[in-house]
Amino acid sequence: MIRRGCRWRVGLGNLIHVWNDAWIKDDSCRVVETPVIEGSENMRVSDLMIPKERRWDWNLLEALFLPRDVLAISSIPLSASVLKGKRIWHFSKNGMYTAKSGYRVALETEKPELWNDLKLPLKIKFFLWRACTESIPTRLSLRQRGVEIEDNRCHSLRAK
């Protein structure tokens, strides 16, 4: 999951493979969608920049990539200062992984598959979901929520 959530922050671009690495700032797809062009399999992101000017080579981008990729690549800002590229966590603003953001990504990607794969009636799936989220109104859960419950286990067995 962590590998899926990481992408490259473009610095000089010399460490990033254009066709194989995740480096696009797009939530739906962080890799280039344009098919690999024969002879450019080893191309680096730095090859897409105008040397020493720290800007994208628009002519090259439009010649090589589908419009979606041209737009995505050109929206990546290039710093005027020379920075080494590094891997960052895509799902946080500062690029740092947190357990909270990892948990959120795991829920979004893993949980739907789990519930959809269960071959059970919907009412059973709903019951299991409520049990997993501790939302079944048991005596214990009601007490923990501040609901007053009598200690009698069975009302019909009261002293006669």
Domain locations in the chain as residue ranges: 2-99, 118-151
The predicted pLDDT at position 116 comes to 65
90-119 pLDDT, tens digit per residue, is: 877 777 877 777 777 776 665 555 566 667
Is residue 151 pLDDT above 70, yes or no?
no
Q: How much of the chain, in percent, has pLDDT values that exceed 70?
A: 81
Number of H helices, E strands in the chain: 6, 4
Is residue 43 pLDDT above 90, yes or no?
yes
59-77 pLDDT, tens digit per residue, is: 999 999 999 999 999 988 8
Residue with the larger pLDDT of the pair 67 and 11: 67
Dihedral of the CA atoms 7, 12, 13, 14 (nearest 10)? -120
pTM reported for the whole predicted model = 0.58
Other beta carbons within 10 Å of 69: 19
